[in-house]
Structure 1
Amino acid sequence: MASIPLKKKNLVRPSTFLAQWGMFFRQFVKHPGMIGSIIPSSASLVDAMLADVDWARARLFVEYGPGVGTFTRTVLERMHPDATLLAIDLNLDFVAFLEAQIDDPRLRVVHGSAADVRRFIRESGHRQADYILSGIPFSTLPEGVGEDICAETRTALKPDGAFLVYQYSAYMRRLLSPQFEELQERVEWRNVPPCRMFTATKREVLAQAA
């Protein structure tokens, strides 16, 4: 989908490539279980994950675990001027980094768990999201947490909304299949390491008349 040009571009404060990598590496060392890879996502992965987003329709885009903003910046570049990007992260250092680096009124960064996504959506003035993107490593989460996040995510999405997930294993398939009516899976080989991409779509099933 083509992006929608903004009347006023989001302001990204000066941040060098090395500064972003430095922050990412330090957090990986401190919290390896919270970060899926020691290397930030590639531009190829970002483009592939966001290729099918209907930017003209989307008014609320949610991101779990934005980290240093690799996806966040691209989402803001493509997003509608009237849309909102809600970024949820458990890591306070990443929250502070994003708030210091990106000055865009459409971005709302909150500290908390993806399991509380519906509360954060309500607090942002919305009812449901059009898209929810996640790169958090579900395979390292405590027992039951991944299932809870997927269930909450489905409820948080509008009908025909999509949960976009990028992971480095096939583990996510077993969490998404019970919750979503439609699931697509593919691999982005140009990322290091190669990354699995899942698109789980919420389809409302109409009850049949008796």
Structure 2
Amino acid sequence: MSTFSFLLEGFRNLRTTGTFTRSSPALCRAAIDRIDFPAAKVIVELGAGDGVITKHILERLPADGKVIAFEVSPDLCDDMRALNDPRLIVAQDSAENIRHYLDQIGADKADHIVSAIPFAALPEDLGKSIVRAAKDTLRPGGCYNQVHYSLKTKSYYEDAFGEVETKRVWANLPPAWVLYCMR
């Protein structure tokens, strides 16, 4: 998907994309910080968009690892499928259904979860339900990293995980936050 096409997708579906621009390389690096890649077998990505963060994950993921990337936009899912990586499972589905996809690949838990879901644009009950599902399917010691453009929904992660560390990423348009939670 071209930058212009991504911009149009953002305008058409801001509620699900959460932004008009792709994540910068600096934001992508911050989003996957704290992931123990050598030991990671299953990484779940929520709100994967066109796969810009997914590509960074795949670059560092071991050959025997899997990424389950959730996205609700059919066009953005097509972009991710075009990455043509056998380690990538594109789940065109709600992130509430993490358990179902882990079961499909025979995984008890995800090692790490990265999310760029725009929770501020979703109903509060749905957002909290997704965060709880993420926590419930994350292995002890695993990290949950959330990309946001505001801290409006920080309480979702505090309620689920307790302590939340935040990092501001200025080298992104617009500047963004990454919230780090450990299970």
TM-score (norm 2): 0.95
Residues 125-153 of structure 1, C-alpha deviations (whole Å, 9 max, x = no match): 21110111111110010230011011111
RMSD across aligned C-alpha pairs, in angstroms?
1.2
Q: Unpaired runs of 5+ in structure 2?
A: none
Q: Give 1:46's aligned residue.
A: 28
Please tell me whether residue 155 in structure 1 is matched to residue 136 in structure 2: yes
Please tell me whether residue 26 in structure 1 is matched to residue 8 in structure 2: yes
Q: Give 2:50's aligned residue.
A: 68
Could you tell me how far 1:172 is from its partner in structure 2?
A: 2.6
Larger Rg: 1 or 2?
A: 1
Please tell me whether residue 180 in structure 1 is matched to residue 158 in structure 2: no
Greater helix fraction, Structure 1 or Structure 2: 2
Matched-pair contact (CA < 8 Å) for 2:10–2:21: no
Q: Which amino acid letter does the alignment assign opposite residue 33 of structure 1?
A: R
Structure-1 separation of matches of 2:19 and 2:54: 17
Counting matched residue pairs gives 183
Greater strand fraction, Structure 1 or Structure 2: 1
Q: Which amino acid letter does the alignment assign opposite residue 142 of structure 1?
A: P
Q: Give 2:95's aligned residue.
A: 114
163-172 or 24-33, larger mean C-alpha shift? 24-33
TM-score (norm 1): 0.83
Matched-pair contact (CA < 8 Å) for 1:87–1:109: yes
Matched-pair contact (CA < 8 Å) for 2:31–2:53: no
Matched-pair contact (CA < 8 Å) for 2:65–2:87: yes
Could you tell me how far 1:30 is from its partner in structure 2?
A: 1.6
Matched-pair contact (CA < 8 Å) for 1:20–1:68: no
Q: Which amino acid letter does the alignment assign opposite residue 68 of structure 1?
A: D
Could you tell me how far 1:36 is from its partner in structure 2?
A: 1.6
Residues 149-171 of structure 1, C-alpha deviations (whole Å, 9 max, x = no match): 11111001001111110100002
Q: Unpaired runs of 5+ in structure 1?
A: 1-18, 203-210
Percent of paired sites with the same residue: 28
Structure 1 segments (4+ residues) deviating >4 Å: none
Please tell me whether residue 192 in structure 1 is matched to residue 173 in structure 2: yes
Q: Give 2:150's aligned residue.
A: 169
Structure-2 separation of matches of 1:172 and 1:88: 20
Could you tell me how far 1:190 is from its partner in structure 2?
A: 1.2
